[in-house]
Structure 1
Amino acid sequence: MTTPPISIENLPRQNASQVKNKWGDVVRQVRQNGSVAITNHSAVEMVLLDAATYQQLTESLAALQAREQSVLDELSQRFDARLASLHQPDAGARLGALFDAKGKLGSKRPKVGASH
């Protein structure tokens, strides 16, 4: 199970001068905590991550992007199917009959579901 991400405000901090002058200490802190916020004039400018954390983030991002693309592909297919029904030769007649009915169902029961 993965640990939840730590907010940037709660990360251990090192200022840019400490990173430059005490690189070994910063590396040890990153290995111990997984990440360190690098500050410049007390403002966080970047976050230093260990390789495992970076790999986990990139894999999670790739999985999310793949899932998003899958959902978009499904929606696109559904849209294309509905659009194709408007290109059928009898689409105009069906639409005309719908307007002529003026909201009355007649003897037919309404159709429901994902396919209608």
Structure 2
Amino acid sequence: MPTHALEPAMLNALIALDDLPRQNASQVKNKWGEVVRLVRQSGSVAVTNHSAVEMVLVDASTYRQLTEDVQALKDRERAVLQELEQRFDARLAVLQQPDAARKVTALFDTRGKLGRRPKAGASF
């Protein structure tokens, strides 16, 4: 799976917590119908207690989308980790070949000297 996959759509559409419409806990308790209308209208409402946001109410479709987006991110993370594991295993297999120690020793013995001139520029 490509590591440059698009981010789930809902994550980009969420409103910052400080920008959400607010209702205090008493309003939620006493005027539930109004709160439900506000949630349906805006998608989510911050519930406050003593002016501090304690929770956010979201409509069911927003919650479903959030859970789908989280699962998509987990799936993408799992695919990226599997790809990294495969690459690691392939490199480890090269290092475990019988002549790997000899090749590493030969590399260190060159002390940074090249066997032939590098090809670059117009001559390449």
TM-score category, normalised to shorter length: 0.7 to 0.9
- 1:114 maps to which residue? none
100-109 vs 59-68, greater mean Cα deviation: 100-109
C-alpha displacement of 1:72: 1.4
- Determine the structure 2 residue equivalent to 1:13: 22
Partner in structure 2 of residue 55 of structure 1: 64
Most deviating of 45-54 and 77-86: 77-86
**Out of 88, 102, 110, which is 2:111 matched to?**
102
Aligned counterparts of 2:93 and 2:117: Cα–Cα separation in 1: 24
Secondary structure in structure 2 of the residue aligned to 1:19: helix
TM-score of the superposition, structure 2-length normalised? 0.80
Greater relative contact order (Cα < 8 A, sep 6+): 2
**Sequence identity percentage:** 65
2:34 maps to 1:41: no
Cα displacement (A) at 1:109: 6.1
TM score, norm. by length of structure 1: 0.85
Distance of 1:34 and 1:106 partners within structure 2: 66
Between the aligned partners of 2:36 and 2:114, the Cα distance in structure 1 is 73
Deviation at 1:68, TM superposition (A): 1.6
Q: Which 5+ residue runs of structure 2 have no aligned equivalent?
A: 1-8, 120-124
Q: How many residues align?
A: 110
Shift in Å at residue 107 of structure 1?
3.7
* CA distance, structure 1, for counterparts of residue 111 and residue 17 of structure 2: 59
Q: RMSD of the alignment, in Å?
A: 2.0
Query: For 1:56-105, what per-residue CA distance to the aligned partner results, in whole angstroms no more than 9, with x for missing partners?
Result: 11111111121121111111111111111111111111111111111122
* Alignment partner of 1:30 out of 39, 43, 63: 39
Unmatched 5+ stretches in structure 1:
111-116
In 1, Cα distance between equivalents of 2:117 and 2:80: 34
Shift of 1:55: 0.7
Displacement of 1:4:
1.9
